[in-house]
Structure 1
C-alpha cells in the first residue's frame, strides 16, 4: 500500500452545476472518492422526501459532499500564507469536508428517528472501522482516520479546522443552500459566496469575516432562513416524511409482533435484533433498497402497511391543518376516539409534526456551544465584533427560534360513505380550527 499522498499527474475535474468545476489534485482525495463507501452516497438523496414536492430535488449526498470539499479547498487556497493557518492541516481539512456526510442512511432523519440510530455515529464507524475509506486514510498515518473523525465530531484541537466544516458559516451550509436551491428551482438560497470567500480570514479558533463583507453574510443568513421555511419545512415534504416514518414504524411493530411478511424486511432485521447492527449490514442500505421494499409491500396483507406504501409510492399524501395546542387540547382525545370508531388507527393516520429553526444565534455563557459559535467580523482596527452587534438585519432574527406544528390526516377517507355522523364531527373539529388545509403542490 502506498503511504502518504502525492499530487496526481493530471488534475481531475468534476463538472458541477453549482460550482462549475470541482478540482482534485491529491491522490488521497481521488482515492477516497473511489471507495465503495463514498460511492454509496450516489444512492442517497440529499433532501430525502423533497423530490415529492420539488421534482428536481433528485440530487444526492455524493453531489453535496463533493461540493463541500470544493468550497473547503477554495477557502484553504485563500488562507495559504496567512497567520493562524497551518499548511499541514490541509489534507485533514479536505478529507473531513469530503467525508462529513458519509454515515447518512436512506431518508436519514426519518430512518434515525424510528430506529434510534445516528448518522454521525456511523460516520465515525466508517472512517475508523474496517472499510476502504479507513484503508485510504491510513496512508497518512495510523492516527489520521481518527483525526478526520475528530474534526467531524468537533473534538479536534484545532478549532479553526473544525469551524470550516461545522459552524454558523461553513462549507457545508454554503454548499447545501446553493445546491438545494438550484435543484429545487427556487431563488431563495442564492448568495454571493465568492464575496464571502474573498473576505474570510483565518483566526486562532475560527474563520472570521472582514467588515466589508458583512452584507454578503447578511444575505447568506437570510437565504438560510428562507430555505428552511420555503423548502426544508414545506408541508408537502413533511407530509411525505410523516408517511415514510409511519411505514418504518409499522414494519418495526409488525416484526416485533411476529407478523409473517410476504416480503420479509431482510435488510432491516439488524434494527430489530438485540445484537448491534453490523457496519457491513448498515452499508447495504440505500434508498434504492428501501424503495424496493416499499414497492413490494404494496402487496402485503396488513392493510396499514399496504396503504401507507401505496400512498408513498403514488404520492397520495396526507392533508394538514395548522396545529395550535391550546385549540386542540380539549378535542384531541375526542379526535382519537372518533378515528378509532370509524376504523382508522390514529397512531398512523393522525399525526402531529413539528418543525423548528434558529436562523442565527450567539453563544450564551453557561450553555452548550454546539454549532452556535457566533460569526465574527474583523473591524478596520482589527477588533472582533459579533455579527448581530453590527448588523440590524441579523440582530432582528438572532436567537429567535421559530416553531411550526401541523396535524396530518387522510382527508379523503372522511368523505367516503359510512359513519357520516362521526366523520362530520371530525371535519368540524378540524375545519373549525383556523389554518390552511390545502397545499399548493
Structure 2
C-alpha cells in the first residue's frame, strides 16, 4: 500500500476534554504528530498571557491543533463522505492542513510577532516547505504535497471548499478554539452546539454551506465568538500582561542595540535583534526559553528591564483607565511630561493599547481583509447569505467594536509628591 493511503495497524486515540477522543488511523497523521516541529507546540500556550487572568488557561497549541484535526476528520469522514460535491481525493490534504495550521506560532504568539514584525503563517509555510521533519513526512505522500498543504493554510489553494474548512467565518479552527478556550478558562461564553452545526454542514461547489434548518445553531456560534472576544481574549488584565511582555522585549532589543553588557547574554535573541532570523533559530524559541530569560533579567543592572521582568513573572501588572485617543491625545502628551518629571520613562510605563473585533461581515469587494460570508442552503437548493436571513446576525454584521485602554504602573505613583500629582492627573483623565 502506498504511504498516502497507509493505515495504522491499530487506531490511536488521544483523550481530549473537548472532543472526548481524537482518532488517528492514517500513518501520515501519526508520523506528523511525532515530528519535533509539531511536538514543539506543546511548549507554546494557546492563549499567551491569558493564564495570568484565567489561571486554567495553560493549554497549548498542540491541544488545539489536534482538536482542529479531529473536527475536520469528523466532517470529511462522517458528514461529507459519499457526497458527490466532496472530492474524496482531498481528504488527506485537508487533514494535514488542519493538523499543521498553527505550526509556525512563536512563544506568546501575537505579542511576540508584533515586537519582531513576524508572521506565524509565513513560518508555518516555511516549516512545511523547508528542511524539517514535517516536510520529510509530507513529501513521502508526493513531491508536490507539501506545497499543496502550504497553499491550503495560505488560503491560495485552488479548491476553496478545502480552504473554507480550515479558514472561514465558520471553520474547524474557530469551532475548536472557542470551546477549548471556554473549557480551560472556566467561562460559559464559548459553548455552542457544534454537533448540530456539523450535522447541517454541506459541501457545495467551492464552499461549505449550512442547511437553513441549522441557522439558529450558527447564530449561537457567532454570539459565542463575540462574547469570548470581549470577555476573554480582550480582557483588560490579559492586555496588561501583554503590554509588559512586549515592553520587556522592546527594552532588551534596545539595550542590545546600545551594546549593553547583559549579565545573562540573550544569545537566543541575537538573530531576532539583528533581523536575520533563520528557521532553525525560530524553531529553538518556545515559551520556556523566553521565561528563562525573564527569570534571569530580574537581576540585570538596567532598572527598566529588571523591573518589567519582575512584574511579568510575579504578576505585578499595570493598572488601566478608559482612553479615547481621538479626544484625549493632548492629555496624553501632558501625562508623558509628568511621567518624565517623576523620573518614569513613559515609553515603557505609559502605554495605550487598543483591541478591535468584527464578529461577522458579508462580502465587501476590494476592502481590506475581505470576508467570505456564511451561506445557508434552503430546501429548494437556493443559497442565501446568513445576515439576510438572521435578524440577530444582521444586527451585528459589519459593526466593528473597538476598545482603548491607557496602562500605567500605579505603584510607582504612590510615594513622592510629584508622583502623587501624576496619579491624580491620571485619575482625572
Give the Å deviation of 1:283: 0.3
Tell me which moved more, 143-152 or 2-11: 2-11
Displacement of 1:204 after TM fit? 1.1
Cα separation, 1, equivalents of 2:281 and 2:116: 14
Task: Mark the CA change 1:368 to 1:239 in structure 2 (over 3 Å): closer, same or farther.
Answer: closer
Shift of 1:326: 4.3
Output aligned runs, 1:72-83, within 5 Å. Answer: 72-77=72-77, 78-83=79-84
Give, in angstroms, the shift of residue 81 of structure 1. 1.1
Runs of 4+ in structure 1 deviating by more than 4 angstroms, as ranges, are none
Q: CA deviation at 1:267?
A: 0.6
* Distance in 2 of aligned mates of 1:155 and 1:253: 37
* SS of match in other structure, 2:8: strand
RMSD, matched Cα: 1.1
Q: Deviations over 1:303-354 (max 9, x none)?
A: 0000000000000000000001244222121111110111100000000000
Match of 1:173 in 2: 174
SS in 2 for 1:253: helix
The answer on whether the counterparts of 1:110 and 1:244 sit within 8 Å (CA) in structure 2 is: yes
Offset of residue 196 of structure 1: 0.1
Equivalent residue number for residue 237 of structure 1: 238
Aligned length: 427
Structure 1 residue aligned with 2:425? 429
SS at match of 1:140: coil
1:39-438 alignment runs, 5 A limit: 39-77=39-77, 78-274=79-275, 276-368=276-368, 370=370, 372-416=371-415, 418=416, 420=417, 422-433=418-429
State the distance in 1 between where 2:114 and 2:368 align: 23
Quote the residue 1:437 is aligned against: none
Q: Is contact 1:363–1:369 with CA below 8 Å preserved after alignment?
A: no
Distance 2:327 2:422 in 1: 14
Query: CA deviation digits over 1:247-294, x for unaligned, max 9?
Result: 0000000001100100011111111225x2111111000001100100
SS of 2:139's equivalent in the other structure is helix
Verify the 8 A CA contact 2:3 2:27 in the aligned structure 1: no
Query: TM-score under structure 1 normalisation?
Result: 0.95
In 1, Cα distance between the equivalents of 2:329 and 2:42? 44
- Offset, 1:214: 0.3
CA distance in 2, matches of 1:425, 1:373: 51
Residues of 1 paired with 2:357 and 2:421: CA distance?
34
Residues 373-422 of structure 1: per-residue CA shift (max 9 Å, x gap): 10000012110110000000000000000000000000011111x2x1x3
CA distance in 2, matches of 1:367, 1:3: 43
2:11 counterpart SS class? strand
What CA distance in whole angstroms lies between the structure 2 residues aligned with 1:183 and 1:367? 35
Q: Is contact 1:44–1:106 with CA below 8 Å preserved after alignment?
A: yes
Aligned 8 A contact 1:201 1:207 in 2? yes
Task: Verify the 8 A CA contact 2:209 2:376 in the aligned structure 1.
Answer: yes
Cα distance, 1:369 vs structure 2: 5.5
After superposition, the C-alpha distances for 1:217-247 in whole angstroms (9 at most, x for unaligned) are: 0000000000000000000000000000000
- For 2:325 and 2:155, the matched residues in 1 are separated by 37
> How much has 1:84 moved relative to structure 2?
1.6
Alignment partners' CA distance in 1, 2:139 and 2:214: 39
CA deviations over 1:20-56 (Å, ceiling 9, x no partner): 0100010000000000000000000000000000000
Distance of 1:93 and 1:332 partners within structure 2: 49
Query: 2-side partners of 1:273 and 1:318: how far apart?
Result: 30
Distance 1:139 1:93 in 2: 16
Structure 2 unmatched runs, 5+: none
Cα deviation per residue 1:180-234 (whole Å; 9 max; x = unaligned)? Answer: 0000000000000000000000011111000000000000000000000000000
CA offset digits 1:145-180 (Å, max 9, x no partner): 000000000000000000000000000000000000
Give per-residue Cα distances to partners, 1:96-121, cap 9 Å, x unaligned.
Answer: 00000000000011111111111111
